Amino acid sequence: MSEQTEARLAQARAWLRQDPDAATRDELAAIVTRAASGDAAAIADLEDRFGARLAFGTAGLRGALGAGSNRMNRVLIAQAAAGFASYLRERVQGTPSVVVGYDGRRNSRRFAHDSAELFAGAGLRTILLPRLLPTPVLAFAVRHFGADAGVMVTASHNPPDDNGYKVYLGGADAGSQIVAPADAEIAAHIQRVADAGDISRLPRSSSYETAAEDVVSAYIRDTAAVAPAPASAKGFNWVYTAMHGVGWETFSRILRTAGYPQPTTVREQLRPDPTFRTVSFPNPEEPGAMDLAFAAARRTRADFIIANDPDADRLAVAIPDDSAEGGWRRLSGNEVGLLLGARAARAAEGIPGASLACSLVSSPGLGAIAAHHGLDFHETLTGFKWISRAPGMVFGFEEALGYLVNPEKVRDKDGISAAIAVLGLAAEAEERGETLATLVAELGETYGHFASGQVSVRVDDLSIIDRIMLALRTLPPARIGSTAIDSAEDLMQAPEGQPSGDVLRYRLADGSRVIVRPSGTEPKLKVYIDARADTADASRAAVADLEAGVRALLEERS
């Protein structure tokens, strides 16, 4: 047996001795037994589980459930909670405070209770939300309680076997997600806890608080106020799906408070289900995820569909479209973002310093909307940890179905408040005898016809992505398809004060834009395409041509 295998077996046995979870202990013990007898598959499994550590970064932790340092489990959560508590005690004068929330995924409740006990044991004032709730309620609660930090146990729209640990900071960070250098500082504290060994020695306490329903009621009241229903709203007919997540219980109460008619619900997906049994991937963006909602909409002849992802921080909207297969089309994240951005810009017009913000891969149409209404505009790195920090922001969005419509209350994407804002737009349109589809068309007439597309390359070997990015940097393309490149920017070399990252941005001779970057959460290379033209058809045709050109370029460079 090799020295490396012996070392992995020693790591695994040390892990077993401190693991409080019977299920993961049994899982790992079986692997250790097989690996000790020379089973090659078990040895490889141990290497995968212990050859690396699940990295803590600006998105916190996220990964597959299971035993080992490279999985989500109670040992890793205990180390993370103790490390984060140590960071907060170092950062905050007096007694730090932290709010903990959780969704309906496997082990979310257990991870949240472990965290609350460890935070309390470390001397922090700890507030546990009263039950499983949407991520936006946790983000709201951080500001509501004036807490120094928040933790949400969720993997959002990841596959069923994943879970995660999302971290927010209060104080000067105003309830936003963490950014550098906080991520590295927290990770260093976590590593020190892990290096110290047995988590059973960490102090725990049951003296944490369980929040009263008042915090949920406050979120409901403030979210309903985003767009109270006019009397005409009682007339439209719509469909809602929670995608097997936690959104419906809170959202339905907001609908009643705001005065909107109750929707036809996709009952198979309405209640929390950690198996996500009706979808292959619980993300409204994925093919097939909204099929049951489309079927319900056809059956009821609905005016539109609203969908949340499982933790309700994202929003999808679909409208009838005779040209689409099945007669329904999901609006792109950019289309919904521009609809909501125009709504916010009209309301903020004339307010000094008011701004719109979006990530650099989202539609440049938001900049055109800001200019039209005399507002400032900020383009940030991807992620709401950056968007939420834009000065003067009254609205922010990201093309991956994320929208921040109520920044005074929630400094993160919020699929529920965004849904209320969309319902408000639908009600206003109905008063004029129009629809959401009409509003989308009017965007082009008012601000210019913007269209967007995306090309993604999924890989098994991440080095392929590195190789493509290196090839694009060392052999810069002169054109994409038949369109010449006017300028190229490498954001790894961005000037100080400008967004920087592993991103290549090309501006083309016809005014189009192409952005290439590795995904931050999946083994994918993602290419974002944006075009503007005199008509909607022309902008869509330009995007289609560029998509073909991008595929050819990536094949050439890979």
Q: 45-81 pLDDT, tens per residue? A: 999 999 999 999 878 999 999 999 999 999 999 999 9
Half-sphere exposure of 313 (CA within 13 A, CB side): 27
Look up residue 25 and give its two tokens.
């202990």
Closest-CA residue to 108 (of 59, 78, 73): 73
Mean pLDDT of all residues in 126-152: 98
Cβ atoms 89, 49 nearer than 8 A: no
Looking only at the bridges linking them, the beta strands covering 304-308 and 315-320 are antiparallel
Percent of the chain at pLDDT above 90?
89
Q: What pLDDT does residue 30 have?
A: 97
Render pLDDT for 395-454 as a digit per residue (tens, 0 to 9): 999 999 999 999 999 999 999 999 999 999 999 999 999 999 999 999 999 999 999 999
Which H or E element spans position 167?
strand 162-169
pLDDT given for residue 499 in this prediction:
63
Average pLDDT of 246-258? Answer: 98
- CA gap 56, 166 in Å, rounded: 10
- pLDDT, one tens digit per residue, over 172-203 is 999 999 998 999 999 999 999 999 989 999 99
Instruction: Reply yes or no on whether the pLDDT at 498 is more than 70.
Output: no
The rounded distance, in Å, linking the Cα atoms of 129 and 150 is 11
C-alpha span between 201 and 220 (Å, rounded): 40
Closest by Cα among 224, 138, 137, 218 to 421: 224
DSSP code at position 237: -
In this prediction, residues 497-506 reach a mean pLDDT of 80
Give this prediction's pTM.
0.94
pLDDT tens digit string along 453-481?
Answer: 999 888 888 889 999 999 999 999 999 98
Q: Where do the domains of the chain lie, and which CATH numbers do they carry?
A: 1-51 (no CATH), 55-206 (3.40.120.10), 213-447 (3.40.120.10), 449-557 (3.30.310.50)
For residues 482 and 233, which has the higher predicted lDDT (pLDDT)? Answer: 482
Per-residue confidence band for 384, with pLDDT thresholds at 50, 70 and 90: very high
Kindly give, in sequence order, each residue whose CB lies less than 8 Å from that of residue 555, ignoring residues fewer than 6 positions away.
Answer: none
Checking if the pLDDT of 34 tops 80, the result is: yes
The average confidence (pLDDT) of the chain is 94
Active site residues: 156
Helices (H), 19-134: 22-36, 40-50, 74-91, 108-121
Residue 487: CB atoms within 10 A of its CB come to 9
Q: For position 135, what pLDDT does the model report?
A: 98
CA distance 156 to 67: 21
pLDDT of residue 240: 98
Give the closest residue to 418 by CA, choosing from 254, 206, 194. Answer: 254
Sheet holding 393-398, edge to edge: 376-380, 355-359, 393-398, 402-404
Tokens of 195: 């290096």
Residue 494 DSSP code: P
Q: What confidence category does residue 497 fall into, taking pLDDT thresholds of 50, 70 and 90?
A: low
Q: How far is it, in rounded angstroms, from Cα 351 to Cα 336?
A: 23
pLDDT higher than 80, residue 319: yes
In tens, the pLDDT along 82-121 reads 999 999 999 999 999 999 999 999 999 999 999 999 999 9
The tokens describing 527, both together, are 């290419």
Q: What is the pLDDT of residue 397?
A: 98
- 3 vs 135: CA distance, rounded Å: 44
Cα–Cα–Cα angle for 411, 416, 420, rounded to 5 degrees:
110
pLDDT confidence band for 521 (50 / 70 / 90):
low
